[in-house]
Each structure stands twice: as C-alpha cells, then as structure tokens.
Amino acid sequence: MKTSLRARLLVAAIATLSCSNALGAAADFAACLAQLRAQAAGEGISARTRDSALAAVEPDPSVIEAMAYQPEFRIPIWDYLAGLVDEQRIADGRSRLREWAPVLAAAEEKFGVDRHTIVAVWGVESDYGRLMGTRPLVRSLATVACLGNRQRFFRAELIAALRIIDSGDFVPEAMVGSWAGAFGQTQFMPSTFLRIAVDFDADGRRDIVGSVPDALGSTANYLKRAGWVTGAPWGYEVRLPANYSGPSGRRDKQALTQWSALGVRRIDGSALDGPGAAALLLPAGAAGPAFLVFRNFDAIYAYNAAESYALAIAQLADRLRGAGAWATPWPTDDRGLSRAERKELQERLIAQGYDIGTADGMIGPKTRAAIQQFQNARGLAADARAGGRVLDALRATPSPAAQ
Ligand code: CA
C-alpha cells in the first residue's frame, strides 16, 4: 500500500515536470543511475556497455504505473486456468510439437525433460513466443532498481542485463521484455539467463528472443536444474473421501501409503502409484478438483513460484499428451472464459454501446466497468467479473442495432 502510494506520487511527479517534486525525482534518478554505473564498473562491466546501455536512460512512467497497479480482483483459479489452457493454446501447442519435433527430441535427450512439459512452459510463458513484452529491458530495470521497493534485487538484475550485453549475446536494443525485467520466449530474468540459457542451435549466441531452439533448450535446462526427474509425472487428479479434512498443501509431503490410508484414490478409483512422496493440492478447497503432486510439480513451480501457474503448465502438458480435461468441476456455477470467449464478450459489450476500446481479449478496468453496468442494467449480481454467466446473458440480449 505504502509502495503503491509512493509509486503513484512518482507517476504524478514525473508526469508534471513543472512541479518541484519532479525535479527532485529526476535528480534522484540521475544520482541513482550514476551509482549504478559505478557499481557496474566495479563489477567488471566494460565501459563500452556502460556507455551504450546506460547513457540517456530515463525512468519509464509506464513501468512505475505497472509497479503501482494492484488488481482489485483476486482472479478465481478457474478464470486463470480457463484463459491459459484453452482450446486455442492446446491446438497451437500441438502444432508446435510437430513443427519443432527434432529440436524437442534433442532437448529430451540432453536434459531429460519431456517435450510436452517444455512446450507447455513455452505456451504459458509467452504464448509460444507471441507475447514477450515490448519494453526496453535496461530502461525498465533502471526504473525499478531506482524507484521500486525491491531495489537491491533489481540492481542485481540490471547488472546481470549489462553482463549479458557485455557477453555479446544481445545488443541493448534487442533486449525487450516485461516491466519487471523478464524477457524472451522463456521469460527469464537476466540473472536466470546467465545461469541457465543455452545456445541450443549452436550459432554462438544464446538467443532466447529470436531462436526457438535456444528458448526450448533453455526451458528444458531450467527444469533439469530445478530437479526434474526424467520419466516421472508431475502428479494426477485424485478423488477424496466424503468430508475430507486431512492434510493438504504443496509442502506437506506424505508417503503414498499414508494418502491411501486417508482414503485418497486416483480419480478413476484405482490405487495410488507414483515416484516417492506426494503432496495433496486443493486449489479451490476440498469441494473442487484435488491433485497429488510429486517432485516434478515442484520443478515447474520453481519457474514462477505460484501454484496456479504450475497447475496451468501441468494441465497444458497433459492436454498436449492427449489427456482429457480434469474430471472434477470447479466449485462454481459461473465458469471461466477462454481467450476467444473473452474477446466475444468484449465484442458483445461494444455492440451494446459500451465504450471499452478494442476487443483484445484482455479483461482490464474498462471491460470490468462495462460488465458491471450491464449486470446492473439487467438485474444480475454486479460482480464485474468476465465469466460464463454474463457472456450467456449478453448472447441472449439483442444488440440495439438489431432491434
Ligand atoms: Ca543460438
């Protein structure tokens, strides 16, 4: 909260240059940049890289806004998964499996990670290279390193980015990514790149932006280094006994015999099997889908410490292997929407006369405000959420032009 307020003030200060605060902020930033240049010199970054990458860097107001942004909605897990593991991403993943089969076979051979998991990470991280972020990385990192609330962490990442430029893998202009410094088809942080990235097409450069083989090899190397067990499953869906109130949580690993004794079975009712101890995940409580997860789930989790994220990769990998959707429904009567449905919802709102800009499938504040207005006008519960119920209501409402 405090940080958010501070960031908002900085946005305001930088936006209005006549304000004395802005001059102060600009002077602070220049001083911080000078410190960073000195630190970079001390850590052996060449003068050439320091001059080319850090000269004339200014804070990026859009990065400060992104830092300040705190989503007012906690997204339900079924919304999160419906957008990340939709039919389009599954179909795209299958075509990438065909297209890159020789590279994926080589990655399996070298790193021991299966092709479905590698492609699932690629699909969730960057939509198979389509969404990598467009902000100049050094500028973003300088902004968060000087003005954010985790300055030590981001200063180290900025130095890592300079080291990458120094190594010749990237010129500064080619390093673009998210506001928080993740870049490329694998969305690595610069320090992760330095530790993990591989030149899998052997052209002399580690290029996780422009080279699919480098991105796929680097992803496999990441999972291997995170403890991937070759040939082992991430986990599987299970069935709980009625009124289950036993242990759960990713860190609470138990022997399969223990889970069996608690009445846990595979979803088809068969006995539990698998490599070693497992944890029971209940992402929406005991009334929703339940999963036993093994060590490979932790390896996926390491990529981007969030259980919902790891479940998205795990589910997409299973779907790419040909498995069906999970058997247990989410505990809701208002289903999550695929990206195609989100776009359709926006198109229908626009047809109803709501001003939400273009239908891009991204549910932002304008779309949510329009949903809420529509819900109010139709006497629906006004939760402003882009779910199946409001889409169905829109489908049943003729657009004014058609009336
Ligand atoms: Ca390469």
Ligand 1 centre from 17 Cα, in Å?
44
Q: Where does the pLDDT of residue 266 fall: very low under 50, low under 70, confident under 90, or very high at 90 and above?
A: very high
pLDDT 10s digits, 343-374: 999 999 999 999 999 999 999 889 999 999 99
Superfamily of domain 339-402: PGBD-like superfamily/PGBD (1.10.101.10)
- Give, for 236, the enclosing helix (H) or strand (E): strand 235-239
Residue 390 binned pLDDT confidence (cut-offs 50, 70, 90): very high
- Per DSSP, 126 falls in state H
* Interval 270-282: pLDDT, tens: 999 999 999 999 9
CA dihedral 128, 133, 136, 137 (to 10 degrees): -80
The more confident residue out of 142 and 305 is 142
Does residue 15 register a pLDDT over 70?
no
Helices (H), 168-211: 190-196
Judging by beta carbons within 10 Å of its beta carbon (0-12, 13-18, 19+), is residue 242 exposed, middle or buried? exposed
Of residues 7 and 31, the one with the higher pLDDT is 31
Lowest average pLDDT, out of 80-84, 149-153, 293-297, goes to 149-153
pLDDT of 6 reads 54
In whole angstroms, give the CA distance from residue 78 to residue 66. 24
Contact 177, 63 (CB under 8 A): no
Give kind and range of the element (H or E) at residue 239: strand 235-239
Separation between Cα atoms, residue 80 and residue 243, nearest integer Å: 27
* Ligand 1 centroid – CA 222 distance (Å): 16
**Residue 80 CA to its chain's centroid (Å):** 10
Residue 198 CA to ligand 1 center (angstroms) comes to: 7
Q: Is the pLDDT of residue 336 over 90?
A: yes
- Helix-strand-coil split of the chain, %, nearest 5: 55, 5, 40
Determine the average pLDDT of the residues in 77-86: 95
How confident is the model at residue 95, as a pLDDT? 98
pTM, to two decimals: 0.91
Would the pLDDT of 129 be above 90? Answer: yes
What average pLDDT does range 305-330 have in this prediction? Answer: 96
- pLDDT for 69 beyond 90: no
Quick one: average pLDDT of 169-194? 94
Whether the CA torsion 205, 206, 210, 211 is positive or negative: it is positive
- The whole-number pLDDT of residue 106 equals 98
Question: Does residue 8 have a pLDDT over 60?
Answer: no
Mean local confidence (pLDDT), 14-27: 61
Report the separation in Å between the CA atom of 160 and the middle of ligand 1, taken as the mean of its atom positions. 19
Tell whether the model's pLDDT for residue 73 goes beyond 70: no
User: Residue 52 C-alpha to ligand 1 middle, in angstroms?
Assistant: 23
Say what the pLDDT of residue 2 is: 40
Q: What is the mean pLDDT of residues 172-191?
A: 94
Query: 171 alpha carbon to ligand 1 midpoint, in Å?
Result: 14
pLDDT of residue 74 exceeding 90: no
Q: What separation in Å is there between the alpha carbon of 213 and the centre of ligand 1?
A: 7
Residue 164 burial (CB count, 10 A): 23
**For the chain, counts of helices (H) and of strands (E):** 18, 6
Domain boundaries, the chain: 3-69+142-167, 339-402
Q: Where are the beta strands (DSSP E) in 111-224?
A: 135-136, 176-177
Output the CA 214–ligand 1 centroid distance in Å. Answer: 5
**How high is the mean pLDDT of the chain?**
92
Asked if the model's pLDDT at residue 83 lies above 70, the reply is yes
- pLDDT confidence tier of residue 68, bands split at 50, 70 and 90: confident
How confident is residue 7, by pLDDT bands cut at 50, 70 and 90?
low
203 CA from centroid of ligand 1 (Å): 5
